[in-house]
């Protein structure tokens, strides 16, 4: 059972205090966009063995959504950050590279 | 025979005798006994029958690894099957029954299976019971259920309490032997917050039995001092009778505390499951001795060598009068010495090693005990009890050289580190060829949330078997600096791997060599599996049942792996181990459930009027976690009659509904209108202040997820009503979009669902009731349909919404929840003269279905778009975007050939079954009957006096008047005509008066 | 308002610790920019309390203010004063992006007290109580429901949950406080 630190309230919460929200950093497509774009947004999800970005809500705490960078194979957490960004912030990228040399964003 | 010795026993209190019963027979033991010790003291070696062949089974071990001696403990509501006698403490009044035999333990009909054993080899069930199919139900299954299986399931509800608790520590040490004590002391002295847990009732583990000296004192004294030191430290928590059952992600450890197993009924919880978050876990879990595989090694009286000395030293119990020790290592010589010290006869030590030198054998020889080198056991003699052994050369094929009479065989095939906790969360093992064991590979530990090692092993669990090495390893595992505790003891010579005895045994002997006592798996079974092509150890486990069930192969696994490897002509590490999964030993379901039983099994949400409903005979319906009255039964009424009465009364007088459960979410801010326009399919930003509008909410995949009335409260705030089940979900949905997509929009939400009690006052006389309460103008002119007003009604702070889910004149009145009960009672009192009566959720459903109103969860199922339900009028065509708009433009969503909502009227007036399917011609690609529609809501309408239904039908609205066939039970077909779904007051005049 | 009753009308239980439903408590949710001086002035004027830092609680007289999330405070005080406080805050914050709303009736409040009070909560909340600071507010899970808790006195915790689950909350607290189920001896 994971522990993740909520960047909004600073609590190192255990998984039972959180609810998962799937892949992070999706770009919404809507009216006017192509079927392919919409399909990719609505259905195509990464399922990497390794570094992954996820949405979590501190459901039994401050109620805020945050994002986590995590290794799906070892469960190592590289960092958590507020959800109000469209791409992982630089310190998170650096933390991942420090632990996973050779990793490229967008992989 | 086995008996209590007159002297000794470091764990028992001879001044405190306890009486207990085994299979009804009264027996006596001492405080401090395990049930195993008490049984042996009463000469009860035979304690059960094996799973498949019903072979007599005796006590083999002295701890958690015991595979055989499982009993049913307790009685009635405190009965529990499959309890190990070696881990059960004897207490006054204990009752135990043996298992898996009929009619009695001594005489068991099922033992005939043993004679048929050559017809019941590995995979027998798979091979024989595949065909013919009907035989399963009528022949095989009853046979298997009767003859195989362990204990019986309890028949009564559990009388005990269970609980859980959370704990946090820098370090959790699992195991309170000398390794665990050393690790805990080392870490605690460095200031760490330490939790030290020991599964038995005593600190110290094996060391006091084995007799080495630590720091110049007897191990017993050293342990006592260490425990005292730890008890004096504020940063240390210590617990006996607590087993760390599993290690999980990010340092999460479960520990199972058997609080009151030994004091049943004393008011304490029986078990407590500790949910511990540990910075690090040190598994000081020791090692388990391995049996040796020789013919007849399952006959009662054949025991692990270390268990024999445990019984002698700890509990002053002699397992027999005349023992033979059989071994491949030096450690088992300690058993010979312990027996000799207790004045018992050791007939011989049979050592498979060709030449035995070492300190311990020298001590044994000095006592005049025969040591036979290069020898093995060809066969154990006896049936329900060992009577002797036949000796052979280990290198040979089993020719008998001599026979020795004995009633105990103490065997040792070496030791296996208990690596379970290390392995549970991904720690890797390496094969140590010198010690013939899998031990933790310190270079590949399980890792935690920062990628750091989150577990270590200490002592024998690391593979360190000599006391000095144990202490040094434990000291280092806890990060100790300086000197570890020092130990002195005899030097031990290397062991010799011995997987079968004798090495050249033929099939006759191998089919009597038991690997897994509990599941009746023999050397020959594993070899057969290998011949049949089973190469994976995991597959072999399932095929042969080796290492299954309650003991999970604690004794059998390594021997089984070795036999399998040999049969596959490969090295043991190439075969690998089966996966170690938690729990280490079985834990009670009660502890997993914790407090969640009975009234507090789950949260039941109650409105402020709950107790009133209850007092009025409400028949409850679960709606999400809420309990809502389904109807209020009066004496002599059926639920159906009550619903009919409530519907008719609401249509003719007044009905009162507790609508408090409806979701109420306040949305406020400069961008609130824009936000709601994205959330709802309709336009909410243009709603005038004081007005109400029905709205539909879709997810971005286009499907309808909720509906409700939206009220414009002020220039910048709206109140969104949701369904009862939807409040929390929709609030979360709103926050998700606000926080993660439109985070720069100025919008705040607040879930006010529980702030207000809400009462729906429904029916042609509703206005009279409100006027009687008084305080607000609720006339048609002042408060027309779909408007809202705030004021004081009958002295209550009230918000009055003129909305209707029934088609009748209807007001929904919200008051602060704390005043909800008083307001409800005021409505009941004021309404008495107008015939007001409460109605429940079923009447609500009938009323809305008569009007053709949809219900989320009935007409929708996650695949329905608003367009399917004829709700196009609630979808804005002008808006550039809303959640679900793009999805609804997909070709399949825009397809005219979709199942769409219609009314259904049975030709015979009956009520269609819920979910009934309308059949179409032909079959689909899978050969199944084609369908063309299904029933989504169906009720008896007491107003129309017939069955009414709604359903989704292929092109339904274009097929009015057509008759569909709905096959129902027993081959019958109900015919129903497609009609408009509004069955009552089609023009909507009644709600608008 | 004279008709108002709390969810469990002050029910209490004495086990190895005492569990008591705290009756009617005034509670106001205030959402807005917690950094803004306007909000700080409004909160101070209404309650006498400073805006608390992350996960902290400030107290002045009858009122206390709990930090609930980066844009949300919970103001706790006398039940009868809550509606007026909402009006006062709403007026003071007019023109600001803020929301003040009375949630007194949407909540149930409890006190768990006694030398072993923490042991009751340790059974229900995944919280390290030894690390909980005196002025800290912790939102967490109480068995199967959401709750907020803080230390409200020597050997006393206050706890707030939704009103509809008050009966469940009391049930799990009562069960956890039963004599004989103390976690630690002494």
Contact B754 C6 (CB under 8 A): no
Please state the domain count of chain C: 2
What residues does B57 pair with on adjacent strands? B48
Contact B447 A14 (CB under 8 A): no
Q: Which residues contact B317 (CB under 8 A, 6 or more apart)?
A: B2, B3, B4, B5, B9, B37, B40, B41, B311
Angle CA A90–A29–A56, to nearest 5: 50
Same domain, C37 and C100: yes
Q: Is A10 on the interface with C (CB under 8 A)?
A: yes
pLDDT reading at B144 higher than 80: no
Same domain, C37 and C99: yes
Helix residue ranges per DSSP H, chain A: 35-42, 90-99
Q: How many helices (H) and strands (E) does chain A have?
A: 2, 6
What residues does A82 pair with on adjacent strands? A66
pLDDT reading at B137 higher than 90: no
pLDDT reading at C24 higher than 70: yes
Q: What is the mean pLDDT of residues C150-154?
A: 95
Cβ-based contacts of A16 with chain C (< 8 Å): 126, 141
Q: Is residue C7 part of a domain?
A: no
Q: What is the mean pLDDT of residues B86-105?
A: 89
Q: What is the mean pLDDT of residues B537-559?
A: 88
Contact B796 C3 (CB under 8 A): yes
Cβ-based contacts of A56 with chain B (< 8 Å): none
Do residues A15 and A3 lie in contact, with contact meaning Cβ atoms separated by under 8 Å?
A: yes
Cβ-based contacts of B269 with chain C (< 8 Å): 180-181
Same domain, C19 and C40: no
Please give the backbone phi and psi of residue B194, each rounded to the nearest 5 degrees, phi first: -120, 135
Question: How does the average pLDDT of chain C come out, rounded?
Answer: 97
Distance (Å, rounded) from C-alpha B960 to C-alpha B973?
20
- Residue found under tokens 């007088």: B653
Categorise residue B554: left if φ over 0, alpha if ψ from -120 to 50, beta otherwise: alpha
Q: How confident is the model at residue B214 (pLDDT cuts 50, 70, 90)?
A: very high
Q: Which pLDDT does position A85 carry in this prediction?
A: 95
Q: How many CB pairs under 8 A join B and C?
A: 136
Chains linked to C by 3 or more Cβ pairs within 8 Å: A, B
Which one of B603, B740, B879, B889 would you mutate to disrupt binding with A, by most A Cβ within 10 Å of its Cβ?
B740
Same domain, C43 and C82: yes
Q: Which pLDDT does position B116 carry in this prediction?
A: 62
Task: Give per-residue pLDDT as tens, B165-175.
Answer: 999 999 999 99
pLDDT reading at B2 higher than 90: yes
Q: What percent of chain B has pLDDT over 90?
A: 89
Same domain, C84 and C113: no
Please state the domain count of chain A: 1
Task: Give per-residue pLDDT as tens, B737-757.
Answer: 999 999 999 999 999 999 999
Which one of A5, A9, A10, A18 would you mutate to disrupt binding with C, by most C Cβ within 10 Å of its Cβ?
A9
Contact A65 B739 (CB under 8 A): yes
Q: Which pLDDT does position A104 carry in this prediction?
A: 84
Contact A33 B277 (CB under 8 A): no
Q: What percent of chain B has pLDDT over 70?
A: 96
Q: Which of B448, B546, B510 is nearest to B118 (CA)?
A: B510
Of C5, C29, C180, the CB nearest to B267: C180
Cis peptide before B319 (omega within 30 of 0): no
Task: Give per-residue pLDDT as tens, B338-359.
Answer: 999 999 999 999 999 999 999 9
Distance in Å from the first CA to the final CA of chain A? 26
Cis peptide before B132 (omega within 30 of 0): yes
Of all residues in chain C, what percent are helix, strand and coil, respectively (each to 5)?
25, 35, 40
Q: Is B732 on the interface with A (CB under 8 A)?
A: yes
The enclosing domain of C53 has a CATH number of 3.30.70.1520
Q: What is the mean pLDDT of residues C154-183?
A: 98
Q: Is residue A106 part of a domain?
A: no
- Residue found under tokens 């509906």: B707
Contact A64 C138 (CB under 8 A): no
Cβ-based contacts of C146 with chain A (< 8 Å): 59-60
Q: Is C181 on the interface with A (CB under 8 A)?
A: no
Q: Is residue C121 part of a domain?
A: yes
Which one of A2, A14, A17 would you mutate to disrupt binding with C, by most C Cβ within 10 Å of its Cβ?
A17
Q: Is residue A14 part of a domain?
A: yes
Q: Which pLDDT does position B549 carry in this prediction?
A: 80
Q: Is residue A107 part of a domain?
A: no
Q: Is C144 on the interface with A (CB under 8 A)?
A: no
Task: Give the pTM.
Answer: 0.95
> What are chain B's domains?
3-113 (3.10.20.440), 162-287+417-488 (3.50.50.60), 318-413 (3.50.50.60), 498-586 (1.10.10.1100), 610-660+755-848 (3.30.1360.120), 663-751 (3.30.70.1400), 896-987 (2.40.30.110)
Of C54, C126, C146, the CB nearest to A14: C126
Please give the backbone phi and psi of residue C167, each rounded to the nearest 5 degrees, phi first: -65, -40
Task: Give per-residue pLDDT as tens, C54-108.
Answer: 999 999 999 999 999 999 999 999 999 999 999 999 999 999 999 999 999 999 9
Q: How confident is the model at residue B373 (pLDDT cuts 50, 70, 90)?
A: very high
Domain boundary residue among C105, C122, C149? C105
Question: Which secondary-structure segment (H or E) carries C141?
Answer: strand C137-142
Contact A59 B890 (CB under 8 A): no
Q: Is residue C185 part of a domain?
A: no
Cβ-based contacts of C102 with chain B (< 8 Å): 755, 816
Of A3, A63, A99, the CB nearest to B451: A99
Q: Which residues contact A81 (CB under 8 A, 6 or more apart)?
A: A7, A66, A67, A69, A88, A89, A92
Residue A11 structural domain = 3-99
Q: What is the mean pLDDT of residues B94-111?
A: 78
Q: Is A7 on the interface with C (CB under 8 A)?
A: no
Give the nearest chain B residue to C181 (CA atoms). B268
Domain boundary residue among C105, C120, C152? C105
The enclosing domain of A74 has a CATH number of 3.30.2270.10
Give the nearest chain C residue to A82 (CA atoms). C70
Contact C180 B269 (CB under 8 A): yes
Distance (Å, rounded) from C-alpha B851 to C-alpha B981?
7
Q: Is residue C30 part of a domain?
A: yes
Distance (Å, rounded) from C-alpha B988 to C-alpha B810?
12
Q: Is residue A20 part of a domain?
A: yes
Q: How confident is the model at residue B547 (pLDDT cuts 50, 70, 90)?
A: confident
Give the nearest chain C residue to B603 (CA atoms). C168
Q: What is the mean pLDDT of residues B794-810?
A: 96
Alpha-carbon distance values, B508 to B139, B505, B873 (Å): 31, 8, 84
Q: Is residue A90 part of a domain?
A: yes
Q: Which pLDDT does position B103 carry in this prediction?
A: 66
For residue B531, how many other CB atoms are within 10 A of its CB? 11
What residues does C64 pair with on adjacent strands? C59, C76
Task: Give per-residue pLDDT as tens, B671-703.
Answer: 999 999 999 999 999 999 999 999 999 999 999
Task: Give per-residue pLDDT as tens, B903-919.
Answer: 999 999 999 999 999 99
Cβ-based contacts of C54 with chain A (< 8 Å): 9-10
Do residues B62 and B313 lie in contact, with contact meaning Cβ atoms separated by under 8 Å?
A: no
Please give the backbone phi and psi of residue B879, each rounded to the nearest 5 degrees, phi first: -65, 140
Contact A11 C138 (CB under 8 A): yes
Q: Is residue A46 part of a domain?
A: yes
pLDDT reading at B129 higher than 70: no
pLDDT reading at B30 higher than 60: yes
Higher pLDDT, C72 or B545: C72
Nearest chain C CA: its distance from A44 CA (Å): 33
Q: Is A103 on the interface with B (CB under 8 A)?
A: no
Task: Give per-residue pLDDT as tens, B275-313.
Answer: 999 999 999 999 999 999 999 999 999 999 999 999 999
Do residues B839 and B657 lie in contact, with contact meaning Cβ atoms separated by under 8 Å?
A: yes
Of B250, B739, B889, the CB nearest to A83: B739
Nearest chain C CA: its distance from A56 CA (Å): 15
Q: How confident is the model at residue B81 (pLDDT cuts 50, 70, 90)?
A: very high
Which one of C55, C133, C139 would you mutate to disrupt binding with A, by most A Cβ within 10 Å of its Cβ?
C139
Contact C69 A64 (CB under 8 A): yes
Distance (Å, rounded) from C-alpha B105 to C-alpha B48?
7
Same domain, C171 and C110: yes
Same domain, C89 and C154: no
Question: How does the average pLDDT of chain A come out, rounded?
Answer: 95
pLDDT reading at B520 higher than 90: no
Q: Which pLDDT does position B120 carry in this prediction?
A: 66
Nearest chain A CA: its distance from C93 CA (Å): 23
What residues does C21 pair with on adjacent strands? C110
Contact C103 B755 (CB under 8 A): yes
What are B146's two structure tokens?
């009767």
pLDDT reading at B509 higher than 80: yes
Q: Is A84 on the interface with B (CB under 8 A)?
A: yes
pLDDT reading at A89 higher than 70: yes
Which one of B681, B739, B894 would you mutate to disrupt binding with A, by most A Cβ within 10 Å of its Cβ?
B739
The enclosing domain of C137 has a CATH number of 3.30.1360.120
Contact B666 C101 (CB under 8 A): yes
Nearest chain A CA: its distance from C67 CA (Å): 9
Higher pLDDT, C186 or B491: B491
Cβ-based contacts of C126 with chain A (< 8 Å): 14, 16-17
Contact A38 B249 (CB under 8 A): no
Q: Which pLDDT does position B125 carry in this prediction?
A: 62
Question: Which secondary-structure segment (H or E) carries B375?
Answer: strand B375-382
Q: Is residue C152 part of a domain?
A: yes
Q: Which residues contact C162 (CB under 8 A, 6 or more apart)?
A: B605, B754, C106, C107, C108, C145, C146
Contact C164 B626 (CB under 8 A): yes
Q: Which pLDDT does position B109 carry in this prediction?
A: 66
Domain boundary residue among C105, C129, C145? C105
Residue C70 structural domain = 26-105
Higher pLDDT, B49 or B854: B854
Which one of C2, C15, C90, C105 would you mutate to disrupt binding with B, by most B Cβ within 10 Å of its Cβ?
C105
Of B250, B736, B880, the CB nearest to A65: B736
Nearest chain C CA: its distance from B9 CA (Å): 29
Of C69, C70, C140, the CB nearest to A17: C140
pLDDT reading at B844 higher than 60: yes
Cβ-based contacts of C3 with chain B (< 8 Å): 795-796, 818-819, 821-823
Same domain, C59 and C117: no
Q: Is residue A104 part of a domain?
A: no
Task: Give per-residue pLDDT as tens, A30-69.
Answer: 999 999 999 999 999 999 999 999 999 999 999 999 999 9
């Amino acid at each position: 059972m994971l522990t993740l630190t909520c960047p909004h309230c600073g609590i190192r919460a255990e998984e039972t205090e959180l609810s998962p929200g799937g892949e992070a950093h999706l770009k919404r497509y809507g009216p006017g966009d192509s079927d392919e774009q919409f399909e990719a947004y609505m259905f195509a999800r990464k399922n990497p063995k390794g570094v992954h970005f996820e949405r979590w809500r501190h459901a039994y705490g401050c109620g805020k959504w945050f994002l986590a960078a995590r290794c799906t194979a070892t469960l190592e957490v590289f960092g958590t950050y507020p959800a109000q960004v469209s791409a992982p912030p630089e310190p998170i990228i650096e933390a991942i590279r420090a632990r996973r040399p050779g990793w490229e964003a967008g992989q | 025979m086995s008996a209590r010795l007159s002297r000794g026993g470091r764990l028992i209190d001879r001044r405190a005798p306890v009486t207990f019963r085994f299979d009804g027979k009264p027996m006596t033991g001492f405080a401090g006994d395990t049930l195993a010790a008490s049984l042996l003291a009463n000469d009860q070696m035979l304690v059960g029958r094996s799973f498949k062949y019903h072979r007599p089974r005796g006590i083999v071990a002295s701890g958690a690894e015991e595979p055989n001696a499982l009993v049913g403990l307790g009685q009635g509501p405190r009965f529990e099957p499959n309890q190990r006698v070696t881990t059960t403490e004897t207490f006054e009044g204990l009752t135990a029954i043996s298992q898996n035999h009929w009619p009695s333990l001594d005489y068991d009909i099922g033992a005939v299976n043993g004679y048929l054993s050559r017809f019941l080899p590995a995979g027998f069930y798979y091979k024989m019971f595949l065909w013919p199919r009907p035989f399963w139900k009528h022949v095989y299954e009853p046979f298997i259920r009767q003859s195989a299986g362990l204990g019986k399931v309890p028949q009564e509800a559990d009388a005990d309490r269970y609980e859980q608790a959370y704990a946090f520590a820098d370090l959790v040490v699992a195991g309170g032997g000398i390794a665990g004590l050393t690790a805990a002391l080392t870490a605690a002295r460095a200031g760490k917050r330490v939790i030290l847990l020991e599964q038995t009732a005593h600190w110290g583990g094996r060391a006091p039995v084995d007799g080495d000296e630590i720091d110049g004192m007897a191990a017993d004294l050293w342990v006592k001092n260490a425990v005292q030191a730890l008890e004096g430290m504020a940063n240390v928590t210590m617990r006996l009778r607590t087993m760390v059952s599993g290690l999980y992600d990010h340092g999460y450890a479960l520990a199972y505390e058997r609080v009151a197993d030994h004091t049943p009924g004393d008011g304490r919880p029986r078990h407590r499951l500790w949910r511990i978050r540990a910075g690090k876990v040190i598994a000081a879990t020791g090692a388990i001795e391995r049996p040796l595989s020789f013919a007849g090694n399952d006959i009662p009286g054949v025991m692990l060598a270390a268990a024999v000395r445990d019984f002698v030293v700890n509990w002053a119990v002699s397992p027999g009068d005349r023992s033979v020790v059989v071994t491949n290592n030096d450690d088992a010589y300690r058993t010979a010495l312990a027996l000799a010290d207790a004045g018992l006869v050791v007939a011989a030590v049979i050592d498979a090693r060709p030449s035995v030198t070492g300190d311990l054998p020298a001590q044994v020889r000095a006592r005049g005990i025969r040591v036979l080198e290069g020898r093995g056991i060809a066969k154990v003699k006896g049936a329900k009890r060992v009577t002797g052994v036949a000796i052979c050369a280990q290198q040979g094929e089993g020719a008998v050289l001599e026979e020795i009479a004995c009633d105990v065989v103490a065997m040792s095939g070496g030791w296996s580190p208990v690596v379970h906790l290390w392995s549970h969360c991904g720690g890797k093992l390496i094969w140590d060829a010198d010690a013939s064991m899998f031990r933790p590979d310190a270079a590949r530990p399980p890792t935690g949330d920062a990628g750091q090692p989150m577990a270590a092993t200490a002592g024998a669990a690391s593979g360190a078997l000599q006391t000095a090495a144990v202490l040094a390893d434990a000291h280092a595992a806890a990060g100790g600096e300086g000197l570890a505790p020092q130990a002195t003891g005899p030097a031990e010579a290397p062991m010799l791997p011995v997987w079968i005895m004798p090495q050249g045994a033929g099939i006759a002997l191998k089919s009597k060599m038991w690997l897994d006592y509990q599941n009746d798996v023999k050397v020959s079974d594993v070899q057969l599996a290998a011949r049949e092509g089973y190469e994976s150890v995991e597959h072999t486990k399932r095929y042969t049942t080796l290492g299954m069930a309650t003991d999970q192969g604690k004794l059998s696994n390594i021997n089984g792996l070795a036999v399998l490897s040999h049969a596959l002509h490969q090295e043991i590490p190439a075969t690998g181990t089966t996966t170690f999964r938690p729990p280490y030993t079985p834990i009670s379901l009660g502890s997993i459930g914790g407090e969640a039983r009975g009234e507090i099994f789950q949260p039941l949400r109650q409105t402020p009027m709950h107790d009133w409903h209850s007092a009025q005979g409400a028949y409850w319906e679960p709606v999400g976690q809420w309990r809502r009255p389904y109807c209020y039964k009066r004496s002599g009424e059926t639920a159906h009659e009550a619903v009919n009465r409530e519907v008719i009364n609401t249509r003719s007088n007044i009905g009162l509904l507790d609508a408090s459960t409806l979701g109420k979410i306040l949305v406020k801010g400069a961008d609130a209108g824009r936000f709601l326009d994205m959330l709802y399919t309709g336009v909410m930003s243009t709603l005038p202040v004081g007005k109400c509008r029905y709205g539909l909410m879709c997810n971005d995949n286009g499907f309808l997820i909720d509906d409700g009335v939206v009220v414009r409260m002020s220039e910048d705030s709206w109140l969104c009503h949701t369904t009862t089940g939807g409040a929390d979900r929709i609030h979360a949905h709103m926050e998700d979009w606000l926080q993660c997509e439109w985070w720069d929009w100025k919008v705040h939400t607040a879930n006010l669902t529980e702030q207000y009690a809400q009462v729906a006052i429904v029916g042609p006389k509703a206005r009279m009731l409100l006027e009687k309460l008084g305080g607000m103008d609720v006339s048609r002119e002042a408060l027309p349909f779909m408007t809202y007003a705030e004021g004081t009604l009958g002295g209550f702070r009230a918000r009055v919404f003129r909305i209707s889910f029934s088609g009748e004149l209807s007001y929904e009145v919200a008051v602060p929840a704390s005043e909800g009960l008083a307001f409800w009672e005021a409505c009941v009192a004021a309404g008495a003269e107008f015939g007001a009566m409460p109605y429940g959720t079923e009447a609500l459903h009938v009323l809305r279905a008569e009007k053709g109103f949809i219900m989320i969860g009935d007409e929708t199922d996650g695949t329905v778009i608003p367009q399917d339900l004829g709700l196009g009028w609630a979808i804005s065509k002008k808006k550039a975007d809303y959640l679900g708009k793009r999805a609804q433009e997909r070709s399949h969503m825009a397809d005219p050939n979709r199942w769409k909502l219609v009314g259904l009227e049975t030709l015979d007036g009956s009520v269609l079954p819920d979910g009934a399917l309308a059949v179409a011609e032909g079959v689909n690609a899978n050969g199944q009957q084609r369908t063309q529609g299904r029933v989504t809501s169906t009720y008896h309408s007491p107003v129309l006096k017939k069955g009414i239904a709604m359903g989704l039908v292929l092109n339904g609205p274009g097929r009015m008047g057509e008759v569909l066939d709905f096959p129902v039970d027993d081959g019958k077909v109900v015919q129903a005509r497609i009609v408009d779904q509004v069955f009552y007051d089609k023009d909507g005049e009644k709600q608008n008066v | 308002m004279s008709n108002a009753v709390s969810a469990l009308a002050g029910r209490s239980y004495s086990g190895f610790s005492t569990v008591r439903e705290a009756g009617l408590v005034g509670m106001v949710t205030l959402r807005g920019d917690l950094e803004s001086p306007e909000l700080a002035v409004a909160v101070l004027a209404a309650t006498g309390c400073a805006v608390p830092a992350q996960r902290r609680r400030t107290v002045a007289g009858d009122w206390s203010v709990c930090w609930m999330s980066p844009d949300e405070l919970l103001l706790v005080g006398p039940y009868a004063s809550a509606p007026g406080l909402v009006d006062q805050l709403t007026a003071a914050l007019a023109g600001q992006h803020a929301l003040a709303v009375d949630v007194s009736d949407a909540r149930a409040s409890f006190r768990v007290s006694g030398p072993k009070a923490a042991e009751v909560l340790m059974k229900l909340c995944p919280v390290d109580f030894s690390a909980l600071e005196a002025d800290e507010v912790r939102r967490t899970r109480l068995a199967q429901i959401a709750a907020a808790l803080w230390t409200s006195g020597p050997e006393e915790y206050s706890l707030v949950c939704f009103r509809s689950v008050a009966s469940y909350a009391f049930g799990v607290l009562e069960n956890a406080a039963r004599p004989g189920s103390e976690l630690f001896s002494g």
